[in-house]
Amino acid sequence: MATETKERPDSGAGERIRSLVERTIQRNIKGVEYFASAAPPVGLTPKEVIHKRGTLNLYHYKPLVDEIYRVPILMVMATTNRGYVFDIAEEHSFVRFLLNAGYDVFVMDWDHPRPEEKTLGLDDYADKFIADCLRRVRDVTGEEEVTLAGYCMGGVLATIYAATHPEEPLKNLACFTTPVDFSAMEMFAHMSQRKYFNVDRLVDNVGNVAPELLLTSFDMLRPSGRAAGQRALWDNMWNGDFVEFHRKMERWSNDMLPLAGEYFRDTTKKLMWDNALYKGTLEVAGRTADIGNITIPLFHGVALHDHIVPYEASKHLVALAGSEDKTEIVLKGGHISLIAGPNAARRLWPTLDEWLAERSV
């Protein structure tokens, strides 16, 4: 017996209306949950603090596989934000990805600098702290060679260290969205013009520079960013995964650190005003940070839609480095989505793993 099926003429519109009603209901239920629930936990991958020195914490993450690559990785976090962006959620954790891929991972993270740490300068961050951590990584692993990696300003610190210590047994340098030509960071360059901005007076008066100043500077790069974020949250409130990830990222982006006074003065004068890293004239701890001195394998991952560190500012790292083995990868994404979240898990992390694996034995 033949069966007859009749297609409802309004099935497309009906489906859309049903979906809209369902989402509206879910949005209301989850909206209440959103305001009632505690902040979601971050940075849960097991780790040990193997060194603490004032504002600096050095973490060693517990390996997750039985056999690891010989060369450990020391990741340097940007000085403006907390390092848990590398471990924001179990399913979106850069650190966990690296551990599962067989790397031994160490992270340099920062706490709020204490008032007396206002005297810490670029020499401390780009030389002493990194040297100290490298020594401890070598002690823990028994390996001389280490891969140095850095994100944003952490990449700048790692680059300066590699450029000022060409004799150091670093195995590789991996940077993510790292600025070199600070004049190309137009809004920052404009707002820190020396004819208006008296950095000495500011630092002498306040000591450490409050995170609100930095947060405002970042907000000025995308003035509607916060409103757009809230709109996206409301729009996707029905989606539990979206909401949880959004909350974690929002927590991280608002959790900014003050900057040590001298470090702020140094970065403003040497990097923003003199553009000394780009020009090869930057002096750190009595050594010249000439990027041409870097001869180890170099990887630089940059984001196509980075509104904080535009490509014009970051493209010079690979161009200036003296390494024969150097790779620049331009990937879809923004400044943060390059290293954290589903975009990073799809793009940067596997690309880095592919590059790093053969250089970590």
Please select the residue that binds other proteins; options are 34, 280, 328, 334, rule is CB under 8 A: 328
Helix (H) or strand (E) holding 23: helix 11-36
Q: Tell me: does residue 301 bind other proteins (CB under 8 A).
A: no
Q: Contacts with other proteins in 70-109 (CB under 8 A)?
A: 70, 102, 104
**Two tokens, residue 313:** 């500012």
Nearer to other proteins, 290 or 330 (CB): 330
Q: Contacts with other proteins in 183-222 (CB under 8 A)?
A: 186-187, 190-191, 193, 196-198, 201-202, 205-207, 213, 220, 222
Closest to 147 measured CA to CA, from 165, 132, 167, 162? 162
- Least separation in angstroms between residue 353's CB and other proteins is 9
Say which amino acid occupies 328.
Answer: E
Pick the piece of the chain touching other proteins (CB under 8 A) from 30-38, 59-67, 262-270, 274-282.
Answer: 59-67
**Contact pattern for other proteins over residues 245 through 264, marking x by CB under 8 A:** xx------------------
CA 104 – CA 68 distance, rounded (Å): 7
CA 108 – CA 85 distance, rounded (Å): 12
Nearer to other proteins, 210 or 274 (CB): 210
- Least separation in angstroms between residue 240's CB and other proteins is 9
Cα angle at 161 between 270 and 292, to 5 degrees?
80
Pick the piece of the chain touching other proteins (CB under 8 A) from 30-38, 149-157, 158-166, 234-242.
Answer: 234-242
DSSP 327: E
Q: What is the signed CA dihedral for 90, 72, 257, 184, rounded to 10 degrees?
A: -110
266: left (phi over 0), alpha (psi -120 to 50) or beta: alpha
Pick the piece of the chain touching other proteins (CB under 8 A) from 160-168, 177-185, 233-241, 269-277.
Answer: 233-241
Nearby residues of 311 by Cβ (< 8 Å), 6 or more positions away: 302, 304, 330
SS3 (DSSP) at 175: strand
Q: How many residues contact other proteins, by CB under 8 A?
A: 74
**Contact pattern for other proteins over residues 264 through 293, marking x by CB under 8 A:** ------------------------------
Please select the residue that binds other proteins; options are 54, 211, 322, 334, rule is CB under 8 A: 54
* CB 247 within 8 Å of CB 39: yes
Q: Tell me: does residue 167 bind other proteins (CB under 8 A).
A: no
Q: Tell me: does residue 68 bind other proteins (CB under 8 A).
A: yes
Nearer to other proteins, 69 or 278 (CB): 69
- Least separation in angstroms between residue 115's CB and other proteins is 5
CA 258 – CA 211 distance, rounded (Å): 4
Closest to 180 measured CA to CA, from 200, 215, 150? 150
